[in-house]
A and B are shown apart, each in its own frame.
Chain A
Amino acid sequence: MNAYVGTPTSRVDGRAKVTGAAKYAGEFPADGLVHGFIVEATIPRGRIARLDTSAALKVNGVLDVLTHANRPPLAGNDEAWKDEVAPEKGSPFRPLYDDTIKFSGQPIALVVAEDWETAKFAATLVRVEYKPSSFATDLEGERSSAAEMDKPLKPRGNAAAALARAAVRHEADYVIPTEHHNPMELFATTAVWDGGGKLTVYDKTQGVQNVHKFLCAVFGKKPDDIRVVSPYVGGAFGSGLRPQHQVVLATLAALALKRSVRVVLTRQQMYGLGYRPMTIERVGLGAKSDGTLDAVTHEAIAITSRYEDFARNDTGWAEQLYKSPNSRFSHKLVHLDVATPCDMRAPGAASGVCALECAMDELAVALKLDPIELRLNCYSDRDQSENLPYTSKQLRECYARGAEAFGWSRRNPAPRSMHDNHELVGWGMATGVWEALQMPVAVRIALTSNGHAEVSCAASDIGTGTYTVVAQVAADALGLPIENISVRLADSTLPQAPVEGGSWMAASSAHAVLAAAEEVRKELLSLAGKMPGSPLANAELADTVLIDGNIAGISDHSRAVSIADAMRHGNIERIAKEKLNHFDEDKKHARNTHSAVFAEVKIDEQLGVIRVTRIVSAVAAGRILNTKTGRSQIMGGVVWGIGMALHEETVMDHRFGRIMNANIAEYHIPVNADVHDIDVIFVDEPDAHINKLGVKGLGEIGIVGVPAAIANAVYHATGKRIRRFPITLDKLLG
């Protein structure tokens, strides 16, 4: 049954990607294609007083300049603009809707020309005069205006009192800066004019059906008028969850000009999209003298725009990780003249758990406890907010296996005690946690009598490996070699799928494949059962499997009919079945993935230079469908965690309300020289409750905990606590 699931199967789309055969949104050809280039606002708040496009329009090759004044109709109600992932509260941004400026970098015009270069040149000739308003973009400056979110996590006990009486107490602010996703592929849309007001829209997105529904609502189109396709995505990490400016503008221009239009953002323009919001994380921990926790408080104060309340769960993670009779959480927002933040790999957790895990390290030091021992002292077998046990939780095993692989027992706990020649050596650790979510996904399987199957679903593969795990699960469930499976994804006309995010797609799509495969098997059984002298004449569905091109008895594979024979006998060429996945409702368990991350840093203290020489990440995430793509996911998360710890920061000049490092020369992410050994361990975590396959998903867990493990290692090396990320050398020297 499991020829492929659980193995290090290579990506089925790998060859297409490295040979360039895989096409991305900005690469689809179309007859008479023209190009749009966006003009952006340079002030963060105000109105457009005058927008003079005459010089741009005179440029040879320019076809039109679309602005709020001359654009085709756009929906005027918020509901239409609220995509699947839009914040509940607020009024989504509408490109070119009116003359209001809500953030610097906001699109205010689209120059459409015969070629991209001409559009780009003409865009420099668009003259804009503003009526500026006073504005604020500085979270720390506006901290006092922070307002509590509507739905705080419920408190338990009396955290304030417990904190006040704690034998050992630690309270501190940790500051996580704004960060941008910077996926390698630029945001792009090619809106192909199919005639008669119909469009095929190739878009860089994490959810074709989300974009489809959104475009239909915004442009007042019928579902059949628009098809959204996005077969390959060159990274998105959350930035492609919501429909972005370029898809609205390309569609708008295509409808205005009745021609195919492509809009590709520049790297700089990508900084006008969503981001991980800067957050001040205030954590309070109170411990009894026996080294157990008595109080946890966690308050997050985060950036959002003035027009939408974006918030994720930064603060609740201690409820999952650490037993404490008293806890209180709050999430506050400061509304600023900036674009709305959005999800970015492990939204909420990457920032919140970073703060929590740094605070736990500080508490361990105050208690003179080994940081793992402290965590084991208050290890929680239940999700305390719901008071539920987990479907599975092998975090203890993560600590043990990670510590073993890292050599943690050889750690001298005293800061500044370990050296390698003139470098200080620091060893730090942290816990990671994320949710194990699953969503409704449908899959269609079309099996042909030659033993080939096409598996299709609207889900995206944003580089995570969805094509590959779908193929693996289908090959196993259909009993066919993986070469016989072709997978089609990310077309809005295919069976239903939500956006690809939250680490839910592997489990969700895998179980949709199982459900559809079962329908196929049912049909095959009824065909096989009717054959004269069939060995499966009276077999129950549950007693059969598909294996080696046959339908066979589950316990006796020799009781078999070949798929080809069954279909020939039934006189059918093709069995096509579509089925929605099904997960038994389970309100009795909490569902999470966990990790223990260990980091070694070597620091040249005089110069402040930090090297992250080793990371061990031990992950418990149920069954790993593909150990190769899974390992890559975790490594990618770890590298990002290194960046979050040491490099990444979107820098804004609050006098102008503008991002000043909107390019990847100055917005630093780790380069090869910053990345050394990364050891990924998958801890066995059998899970009989979560779903049939026991799968949890790996997209986010890899980053969570990494920045804290590194910060804690920096402390161990130097004795310095840097609570303002990233840990750049000036902070270490200061």
Chain B
Amino acid sequence: MNNFQYSRATDVTDAIRLLAANPGARLIAGGTNLIDLMKENVERPSRLIDISRLPLRKFEETADGGLRIGALVPNSDLAYHPLIEQRYPLLASAILAGASAQLRNMASVGGNLMQRTRCAYFYDTATPCNKRNPGSGCSALDGLNRNHAILGTSASCIATNPSDMSVALAALNALVHIAGPAGERVIALTDFHRLPGDAPHVDTNLGAGEIITAIELPSRGFAQNYSYLKIRDRLSYAFALISVAAALDLNGNAIREARLALGGVAHKPWRSLEAEAALRGKAATPDHFSHAADLLLQGATARAHNGFKIELARRAIVRTLTQAADATPQSQSHKKIA
């Protein structure tokens, strides 16, 4: 861990000013990811700008029936908020599938979106890693890559984004509110995270000096037919090998609209509008689910140890869609898979 300066931001403008004035500074919210990375010498910020006390903890209903959630709302508060439980249970479920109760109490919405990959080489400063040390090489390509990406990879990085919350947010067409030196802007969550390309050290499209102030959920929450299924190496408290967020709008057994996002497979939550379009107007049957899975997984490629993920993802997609269609969403407390 390096020595660093510490400042507490007084408001969002102050945070932005501090960021601009201190290259090498990092925002700190819950600290559950950043501090770990600092202890491993992966992050060596010159200054920590503490935003944890900024007034970004509100839930506000938006004019068009959606919900705006402050960037510092703790993950647990978000998951257990009555409006989320009632209108966006997919999001609640995804959050509760992640980490542990203690971590969720500390973790913030903004920090969750910004959490970095769990690639073991990224964490080990004694090994090459393009994401940590651009140009040094990717140790995972020909190394231990069982947990790595099967979609949207590049020759410089095959890391995955570890967030569960983001997968549900992607499926729900959430928006990210950002403030920065040039003012405020809003981008779709699906455009927030990047693919690695030849710049894997850049995780997101958040610009220098920008800060996430809120996320926004559109009105449609798919509260009737949804499920979040997370497959991992133990039944709780492990990152996803594969996770699936599925949401359906059904008319009887006919699909009016489908949303489908995958976690654990790429550098960002993975969606395919083509796969979702293919379900529109179709009956909610395993065959159609299967076809959608194929479309969603189009172009999936494996390295030496993660080939199983392709077939596992296919099956998990079908299962999750089935759970959603049957209105028997995966329980995150009873770990038996329905």
Contact = CB atoms under 8 A, between A and B. Distances in A.
Interface of A: 42-43, 104, 117, 120-121, 124, 266, 268, 423, 602, 604, 606-609, 611, 646-647, 651, 653, 655-656, 658, 660-661, 665-666, 668, 670-674, 728-730, 733-734
B146 interface: yes
B81 interface: no
A670 B234 contact: yes
B291 to A, nearest CB: 17
B5 interface: no
B202 interface: no
Contacts of A117: 1
Contact of A609 (B3, B121, B231, B311): B231
Nearest to A118: B3
A716 B333 CA distance: 28
Contacts of A653: 127, 139, 143-144
A230 to B, nearest CB: 27
A733 B335 contact: no
Given A604-B337, A653-B139, A121 B120 contact: no
Contact of A673 (B121, B234, B308): B234
Given A121-B3, A653-B139, A733 B308 contact: yes
Given A611-B336, A651-B144, A674-B234, A120 B120 contact: no
8 contacts: A607-B231, A607-B316, A660-B121, A665-B118, A671-B234, A671-B235, A673-B234, A730-B312
Interface in B142-164: 143-144, 146
Contacts of B308: 729-730, 733-734
Nearest to A610: B235
Nearest to B235: A673
Interface in B268-289: none
B233 A607 contact: no
Interface of B: 1-3, 39-41, 118, 120-121, 124, 126-127, 139, 143-144, 146, 231, 233-238, 241, 308, 311-312, 315-316, 319, 335-337
B337 A609 contact: yes
B231 A658 contact: no
Contacts of A120: 1
Question: 10 tightest A-B contacts by CB?
Answer: A42-B126, A673-B235, A673-B236, A730-B308, A660-B120, A673-B335, A671-B237, A606-B315, A604-B337, A671-B236
Given A668-B234, A729-B241, A606 B2 contact: no
Contact of B235 (A43, A608, A611, A655): A611
A267 B15 CA distance: 34
A608 B313 CA distance: 12
B2 A121 contact: yes
Most chain B CB atoms below 10 A, which of A117, A728, A730: A730
Nearest to B312: A733
Given A656-B126, A730-B312, A733-B308, 16 more contacts: A121-B2, A124-B41, A268-B40, A606-B315, A606-B319, A607-B315, A609-B231, A653-B143, A655-B139, A658-B124, A660-B120, A671-B236, A672-B236, A673-B234, A729-B308, A734-B308
A611 B335 contact: yes
A608 B312 contact: yes
Nearest to B3: A121
Most chain A CB atoms below 10 A, which of B39, B146, B308: B308
Nearest to B308: A730
Contact of A607 (B39, B127, B143, B312): B312
Nearest to B335: A673
B146 A730 contact: yes
A671 B236 CA distance: 7
A609 B235 CA distance: 8
A662 to B, nearest CB: 8
A266 B41 CA distance: 14
Contact of B120 (A661, A670, A671, A729): A661
Contacts of A728: 233
B34 to A, nearest CB: 15
Contacts of B120: 651, 660-661, 666
Nearest to A43: B126
Nearest to B121: A660
B296 to A, nearest CB: 17
Nearest to B44: A124
Contacts of B231: 607-609, 729
Given A646-B234, A729-B241, A656 B127 contact: yes
Contacts of B311: 733
A656 B120 CA distance: 13
B143 A647 contact: no
Contacts of A671: 234-237
A666 B118 contact: yes
A514 B311 CA distance: 63
A104 B127 CA distance: 12
B232 to A, nearest CB: 9
B164 to A, nearest CB: 15
B124 A668 contact: no
Contacts of B144: 651, 653, 660
A268 B233 CA distance: 21
B30 to A, nearest CB: 16
Contacts of B336: 423, 602, 611
A668 B233 CA distance: 8
A646 B235 CA distance: 11
Contacts of A656: 126-127, 139
Given A671-B235, A734-B308, A121 B335 contact: no
Given A606-B315, A606-B319, A734-B308, A658 B236 contact: no
Contacts of A104: 126
A281 to B, nearest CB: 23
Contact of B233 (A423, A647, A655): A647
B66 to A, nearest CB: 33
Nearest to A40: B126
A439 B186 CA distance: 72
A665 B36 CA distance: 11
Nearest to A675: B235
Contact of A729 (B40, B124, B139, B233): B233
A602 B234 CA distance: 14
B127 to A, nearest CB: 6
Nearest to B305: A730
A633 B199 CA distance: 51
A656 B137 CA distance: 14
Contacts of A121: 1-3
Contacts of A729: 231, 233, 241, 308, 312
A673 B337 CA distance: 12
Contacts of B236: 671-674
B124 A660 contact: yes
A661 B144 CA distance: 11
B297 to A, nearest CB: 15
B143 to A, nearest CB: 5
B70 to A, nearest CB: 27
B235 A674 contact: yes
B233 A658 contact: no
A102 to B, nearest CB: 16
B176 to A, nearest CB: 26
Contacts of B316: 607
A375 B336 CA distance: 34
Contacts of A673: 234-237, 335
A550 B238 CA distance: 59
A42 B40 CA distance: 13
Contacts of B233: 647, 668, 728-729
